[in-house]
Structure 1
């Protein structure tokens, strides 16, 4: 008989899938991100309260009637955030479902270009590059898509498809310039993209003063309306949300597959992690830079097309509205993950939509929304601060497992 040693320790088992999920949820990046948003909203509430004249008046006689201060503070913050909620998700005071959901439609409308442009920044981040030029790429995408939309007469399906593709091509060309300069000359992408942002803005202003782009009978810089056959159709009646939102979600799915399932995605991530090692392994680092910026430009061009064909339906000098810079924030909040970028885009779209209602109903400055966005990014960039404030324990690194245990650290 074979002897069994009684002192042999039992084989250690790794955590189950459920335990790993809960550990990641409570100690990982997801919890830090959620708490960053919560903390930003709390600080925003403090700013709302101290800027409200009612709260200031009640503070003047605090020791006489302290309850008035607390009541005024609660009322001020509650009214502001209730208006923010009503303006971004659902207005229960409306008498039809369509009108009640109009605020959520406005949120998705605002989120559409943010998602597409955020993906343009995120994919560059994953390759170790900083695409600060999403603003210019959005403008070029809008120029190409808008011109294709009002200058040509095509059948409805062909026209809208051609206009969207034109916008994607416009963004790809503008970002491709950065990729080529980076690959051929080593020019820093941050400097080049910032300069191209300015060139794109002045180019749009110039074109809107030409006969080819200026609306007949108008002297101000504005283009003709995009033909109905080239407009992105509305998804919900009585709202502005259009098919561009579905294209942005489709783009996120494609980028997720590309980064996590394709050979090209592996190459992008390898170059982003260590370009020298990738070069030693036989990968073309310079070629990867060009590919990354072309892909980023396509995504930003899609954002521009959604603005020109779906939201504004014409060109004007402020069509981008600084969305390219907000896209950097969205990509950071989404941690350069495609689905995280989608969630961050919807959150920022809700803040934009709700901020207008909040200002109209309560008088709270819409600049508060910008403060909250900045605070979110600040806290996202400083995870140790969030962990210290909320006393979140740092997840311990798992021991390196052998092949027989089936998982590794």
Structure 2
């Protein structure tokens, strides 16, 4: 069995085993797993409204997953995606209502503002790593909380003591009436197109450009990269900045598409942290991130149907997601089992 096939099968097997163990947990907890998974399925694919909202839920997960995956591919662990997302969210919302421009200029400007804000916030992490050798996990975690409190303070200031900014102007919204008509007035917006474009951008940057080769080389072996004449410090900063730009775009999806404003948060959105699991499920590849985000977004939205349709609490889906992540983390055991199974099959 080839390594490529095994790499594909590991997350698939992890998902299947996670769902099976989740069914056992439901049974032990006194719930009907068939009824539960039926309600979950209907919550995701039951009608055009559910499908539209599921795709909308998937959108920020794709970009958050790309942010984490890009950092991983360049030898960094960006656990600060949540903070970078919040900064991008606020920047997009502010540009979205504070500036009046034609739509063809206004919408791209708001999206770019989000990417720049997220990139600048991640730049701090990269700079501290490259110049002062501060571990990116520590600095990015701290900057998550800093971003949360800074954005809350700015929103309070912009709204004169309120809890949310003004609604973004029609010229800066990602919402499209034809999408709402197509999905029975769901919250689906044009952000999914941007997210999929960014998947292509990440693939092209890492696989088809000299800069991408350098970024991966530095992540793989800094000493060898430096010996080859590459600037390790410059590439660390650049890699983290690009990762933050993906995260900032995830914030723009929420500001310009889903919520149409920026509001004070009592806590983290969780999207940035879930991006770690999405990247893990997707093996840090652009296409894999799409599948990981699809799984996460579908489970998250479909779970909303479980309490009403099956009497099963939403937390049960969180348990199932945790089980899937657990089995993905145990990928070495699954990989070993698949390798032995493949060897036996070839031996026959």
| Partners of 1:107 and 1:350 within 8 A in 2 | yes
**Alignment-derived partner of residue 11 in structure 2:** 33
1:138-166 per-residue CA deviation (whole Å, 9 max, x = no partner) reads 00000100000111111222111111111
The yes-or-no answer on 1:224 pairing with 2:166 is yes
| Partners of 2:205 and 2:212 within 8 A in 1 | yes
Higher helix share: 2
Q: Which of 6, 29, 42 is the aligned partner of 1:86?
A: 42
In 2, Cα distance between equivalents of 1:115 and 1:358: 24
In 2, Cα distance between equivalents of 1:391 and 1:257: 31
Matches within 5 A, 1:6-405: 23=2, 28-52=6-30, 76-89=32-45, 91=46, 100-210=47-157, 213-214=158-159, 220-234=162-176, 235-237=179-181, 238-318=185-265, 321-387=269-335, 393=341
In 2, Cα distance between equivalents of 1:394 and 1:136: 43
In 1, Cα distance between equivalents of 2:101 and 2:268: 26
Give the drift of 1:386: 2.5
In 2, Cα distance between equivalents of 1:140 and 1:300: 9
| Partners of 1:150 and 1:226 within 8 A in 2 | yes
- Superposed CA RMSD: 1.9
| Partners of 1:138 and 1:320 within 8 A in 2 | no
Number of residue pairs aligned between Structure 1 and Structure 2:
338
Normalized against structure 1, the TM-score is what?
Answer: 0.79
Gaps of at least 5 residues in structure 2 are: none
In 2, Cα distance between equivalents of 1:123 and 1:395: 33
Higher relative contact order, chain-length normalized (CA < 8 Å, sep 6+):
2
| CA spacing shift, 1:395–1:225, aligned 2, 3 Å | farther
SS state of the match for residue 247, structure 2? helix
Give the drift of 1:388: 6.4
1:337-358 per-residue CA deviation (whole Å, 9 max, x = no partner) reads 0110011001100001100011
| CA spacing shift, 1:187–1:227, aligned 2, 3 Å | same
In 1, Cα distance between equivalents of 2:110 and 2:143: 23
In 2, Cα distance between equivalents of 1:115 and 1:395: 35
